[in-house]
Amino acid sequence: MGHLTICGAGVFGLTLAWSALKRGAKVTVIDPNGPGSGASGGIVGALQPHAPDPWNEKKQFQLESLIISTAYWAGVEACSGLSTGYAKVGRLCPLKTAREVTLAENRKAAIAEHWPRAETWRLIDAPKSDWCPASPTGLYLHDTLSAILNPRRATASLAAAIAAKGGQFTTAPPGDGPVVWATGWQGLQDLGAWFAAPVGNGVKGQAALLAHNAAGLPQIYAEGLHIIPHTDGTVAVGSTSERDFADPTTTDNALEDVLDRARTALPALKNAQVLERWAGVRPRAASRAPLLGPWPGRAGHFIANGGFKIGFGMAPKSAESMCDLIFDKIDRIPVAFHTNQLIPTE
């Protein structure tokens, strides 16, 4: 099977390492800051499907990734002995207007066509619980496909599973054999310089972790925020999307606004202690889709980057698709994701 080097120990790099090891490859992961040190070491962890219409290859890829996620993360946990915080808790969204109600109703046909029969998308009345934001229409969208995980725990579990399977972590430069570059937002900037064209950028996000136990309840999407009831008895809320920023890791009044909006949307969080304020920069490819495939003009090198807000949801399928390409020479990467859209410099 040979030896694979992966530069970058975020979720794309780590899931690729895990998938390659399961296929019998030797794997080295290079990251000067260690596993999960960037945006993949955050605190939110919403795994949500896009709206089902109009359907496209990006949504199909995401669906397939979400479907395999349950078994994928269970396999990581079985090897590492560490929880990833994965739980298939579903999602609850208040429908604020009659238009939103109509859209949700009209999407049922697309759900029936594309989602597995076991998954549901339905309109419900308010649950009899304080874990329920206000809805002016009195109706809510509830789906069962959405899931959560704890990014920090998931990357730690992946790193432990990789080590248990014989993978190596180092800060030394790559050696012989294929190399995959999964180097986050700075990597997208480096690619832009290589191709002398915009490839992507970093988008800063700020989030907070609260002391409130809602484990087992659905994640909530309300007021443009993800509210995630982690399995460890904490709740994460976030996040901002800042394309212009001076410091990648500091929090400011933008996060205080997130907290105010979350507490207004869900009064159950009103008195919850803030355990942590977090900020990091997520890699956003120019297409807003992951960027996967060979590095054009650089034989033996590959790219896996640009997960942005859907990185953890896309990672299992992205890792399997990259392994298909690298080891089996089978290219199943969607056109919208593919690196062949990049043009090498002369």
- Do the Cβ atoms of 15 and 40 come closer than 8 Å? no
Q: Is 126 among the domain residues?
A: yes
pLDDT tens digits for range 126-162: 999 999 999 999 999 999 999 999 999 999 999 999 9
Q: Is 337 among the domain residues?
A: no
The domain containing residue 130 runs over which residues?
A: 90-145+202-282
Overall average pLDDT of the 196-204 stretch? 93
Q: Is 61 among the domain residues?
A: no
Assign 274 a pLDDT band (cuts: 50, 70, 90).
Answer: very high
What is the number of alpha carbons within 13 Å of residue 225 lying toward its C-beta?
27
DSSP of 59-102? HHHHHHHHHHHHHHHHHHHHHH-S----B---EEEEE-SHHHHH
Q: Is 185 among the domain residues?
A: no
Overall average pLDDT of the 173-179 stretch? 88
Residues paired with residue 236 on neighbouring β-strands, in sequence order = 209, 228
What pLDDT, on a 0 to 100 scale, did the predictor assign at position 22? Answer: 97
The yes-or-no verdict on residue 344 having pLDDT over 70 is: no
What pLDDT, on a 0 to 100 scale, did the predictor assign at position 345? Answer: 54
What pLDDT, on a 0 to 100 scale, did the predictor assign at position 7? Answer: 97
Q: Is 45 among the domain residues?
A: no
The yes-or-no verdict on residue 258 having pLDDT over 90 is: yes
Output the domain CATH number for residue 278: 3.30.9.10
Domain count for the chain = 1
Q: Is 312 among the domain residues?
A: no
DSSP of 240-294? --BSS-S-TT---HHHHHHHHHHHHH-GGGTT-EEEEEEEEEEEEETTSS-EEEE
Q: What pTM value is reported for the model?
A: 0.95
What pLDDT, on a 0 to 100 scale, did the predictor assign at position 2? Answer: 85
Q: Is 261 among the domain residues?
A: yes
pLDDT tens digits for range 111-123: 999 999 999 999 9
Cα 273 from Cα 259, distance rounded (Å) = 11
Q: Is 97 among the domain residues?
A: yes
The yes-or-no verdict on residue 75 having pLDDT over 60 is: yes
